[in-house]
Amino acid sequence: MSDIDTFRQDVREWLEAHCPISQRQPIVREEQIWAGSQSRFPSDDARQWFEAMRDKGWTAPTWPTEYGGGGLTADEARVLEQEMARLKCRPALYDMGLWMLGPALLTYGSPEQKALHIPRIVRGEVRWAQGYSEPGAGSDLASLSTRAEDKDDHFVVSGTKIWTTRADVADWIFCLVRTDPHAAKRDGISFLSSTWRARVSQRDLSR
């Protein structure tokens, strides 16, 4: 038996042992498990499933183990995906931190940024909102005008964002901002993150 076949058998046995029967059916929106300080579990089984996957590192299976991820190779992650599909296992965690911010941080982030954010994304402790679209640009991100001015130890951000996806329940937000107003239209744009709930009131969520 090859190493990947052995891994598949181990994954199959682990899923059989840890995924409750109630979590082996198509997901419905009301029962999705989202990350963040306001996270709620629809059932004890859902909590059990999330905690098992989190502790295994399989909420982010290919991310480094030093940050709480699973450390799987691409082939191993594919096997995990296949075996979860075979049992109809529900996704254990939803968050744009998993899909968008985390991969960018792992590629471009400093060691300090990775140590601060990646483990909390893997554990589902923080929910991320997305701040891309603007009133005068829509989804044409090259035309965005929100600016971030570097003040050495912080940025001053000015501008307006719309469609700040799920900002009403997020803890942090990541935005695309223009840091070089003199650069060409498609240049001078940076990816910026910030704490959110402590700084933004309910009436400001469209900004």
Is residue 87, in this structure, part of any structural domain at all?
Answer: yes
**Position 206 pLDDT exceeds 60:** no
Q: How many domains does the chain have?
A: 2
| pLDDT tens by residue, 118-142 | 999 999 999 998 888 888 877 788 8
Q: Sign of dihedral through CA atoms 70, 79, 109, 133?
A: negative
Q: In the prediction, which pLDDT does 196 show?
A: 53
The tokens describing 13, both together, are 């046995």
Is residue 181, in this structure, part of any structural domain at all?
Answer: yes
Indicate which CATH number applies to the domain containing 172: 2.40.110.10
How far does Cα 197 stand from its chain's mean position?
A: 17
**Position 169 pLDDT exceeds 90:** no
Query: Residue 150 — φ and ψ, nearest 5°?
Result: -75, 120
More confident residue, 141 or 60: 60
102, 93 contact by CB (below 8 A):
no
Q: In the prediction, which pLDDT does 205 show?
A: 32
Is residue 183, in this structure, part of any structural domain at all?
Answer: yes
Based on the fold, state whether residues 36 and 77 are members of the same structural domain. yes
Q: Which residues are CB-contacts of 122 (< 8 A; sequence separation ≥ 6)?
A: 54, 57, 59, 60, 63, 67, 68, 69
Based on the fold, state whether residues 55 and 137 are members of the same structural domain. no
Average pLDDT, the chain: 89
Based on the fold, state whether residues 9 and 87 are members of the same structural domain. yes
More confident residue, 169 or 166: 169
Q: In the prediction, which pLDDT does 203 show?
A: 32
Based on the fold, state whether residues 9 and 91 are members of the same structural domain. yes
Mean pLDDT of 8-33: 96
User: Which residue among 72, 95, 118 closes a domain?
Assistant: 95
DSSP annotation of 165 reads B
Q: In the prediction, which pLDDT does 57 show?
A: 98
Which domain does 190 fall in, by range?
A: 127-204
**Position 167 pLDDT exceeds 50:** yes
Based on the fold, state whether residues 88 and 168 are members of the same structural domain. no
Q: Lowest-confidence range among 40-49, 57-66, 180-189, 192-201?
A: 192-201
Based on the fold, state whether residues 64 and 142 are members of the same structural domain. no
Based on the fold, state whether residues 137 and 81 are members of the same structural domain. no
More confident residue, 183 or 203: 183
**Position 202 pLDDT exceeds 70:** no
User: Which residue among 74, 95, 116 closes a domain?
Assistant: 95
Mean pLDDT of 162-176: 83
